[in-house]
Amino acid sequence: MEPISRRGAFNAAFAVLIILAWLALWLWERSPYGRYLNHAELGGLVHDAAWSSVLLQSSVYVTGWLLMTTAMMLPTTLPLLDAFRRMTARRTDAGQLVALVVAGYLAVWLAFGLAAHLFDLRLHALLERVAWLQANPWVFGAGPLAVAGAFQFSTLKYRCLERCRAPVGFVIQHWRGGNPVVQSLAIGAHHGVFCVGCCWALMLLMFAVGTGSIGWMLALAAIMAIEKNVAWGRRLSTPLGLALLLWAAAIALDHAWSWQ
């Protein structure tokens, strides 16, 4: 049986990591550099061909996205990390292996964030060339809401969600002996893939409101944690999907009404 002191140390370290991520984002949002958490501000740097601007954009975005995913998504993995920690508790390198699981998980979310950011920049480049989009910027607000709402009813959403809701079975399936470093990274990465699979559409909403919007982050983090880890969480998906679709429709109708 795992010593209580070791379990308490893990929970304390995990809590400190999450709190520091939230605190860093809160302070960043209120600093003179808070505007760089907004994707539109980052997109403006792309037009400057200087390598310094490109590197600035990349480093700022990677830092902001990693802080955001650590604050929002890492708490939802606590059941998985706890199961993995208990399974490896007798090993002398248990702490290192847990850290590798976290690293693998965040690496997948970072890859998704970079892909989403490049897609977002392409959309804004398209905005500058298409007159209709320039005249209808509401599409960039209603679009992510509609996509996120529709995805709540998809089969892929539920398949990935079910894998995320069975952390013990997931660890047993993937922890097969062999190289512990590689397997720890693989467990984190595999779990990250399923987590992205069930949560990517909700995370895209951050591009509509800005990476550093603490209020949105808290709301979405709570929703995703409930969906993944609470017994009745799956029942939240349908009303949430309907609410997001209605919100997108309201934006479109408001635009149509204003043009009459």
> Can you tell me the distance from the alpha carbon of 24 to that of 62, in angstroms, rounded to the nearest whole number?
14
* 25 close to 74: Cβ distance less than 8 angstroms: no
Any idea which of 33-37, 93-97, 202-206 has the lowest mean pLDDT? 33-37
H-assigned helices in the chain: 4-29, 39-45, 51-72, 78-87, 94-129, 131-135, 139-151, 155-164, 167-174, 180-209, 214-229, 237-258
Chain centroid offset of residue 137 CA: 25
> Can you tell me the distance from the alpha carbon of 103 to that of 17, in angstroms, rounded to the nearest whole number?
13
Highest mean pLDDT among 10-19, 31-40, 250-259: 10-19
CA geometry: angle at 70 spanning 232 and 125, to 5°?
100
Chain centroid offset of residue 191 CA: 13
Which residue did the predictor score with more confidence, 170 or 138?
A: 170
List, for residues 185-194, the tens digit of each pLDDT value. 999 999 999 9
Of 184, 200, 54, 174, nearest to 116 (Cα)? 200
pLDDT above 80: residue 70: yes
pLDDT above 60: residue 54: no
Tokens of 46: 């792309």
Of 150, 51, 149, 69, nearest to 117 (Cα)? 69
> Can you tell me the distance from the alpha carbon of 182 to that of 174, in angstroms, rounded to the nearest whole number?
11
pLDDT above 80: residue 42: no
Q: How does DSSP assign 135-149, residue by residue? A: H-TTHHHHHHHHHHH
Query: Around Cβ 229, how many Cβ atoms within 10 Å?
Result: 17
Of 27, 125, 104, 143, nearest to 117 (Cα)? 125
Q: How confident is the model at residue 4 (pLDDT cuts 50, 70, 90)?
A: low
> Can you tell me the distance from the alpha carbon of 10 to that of 71, in angstroms, rounded to the nearest whole number?
17
- Given this model, what pLDDT does residue 52 score? 60
> Can you tell me the distance from the alpha carbon of 74 to that of 91, in angstroms, rounded to the nearest whole number?
23
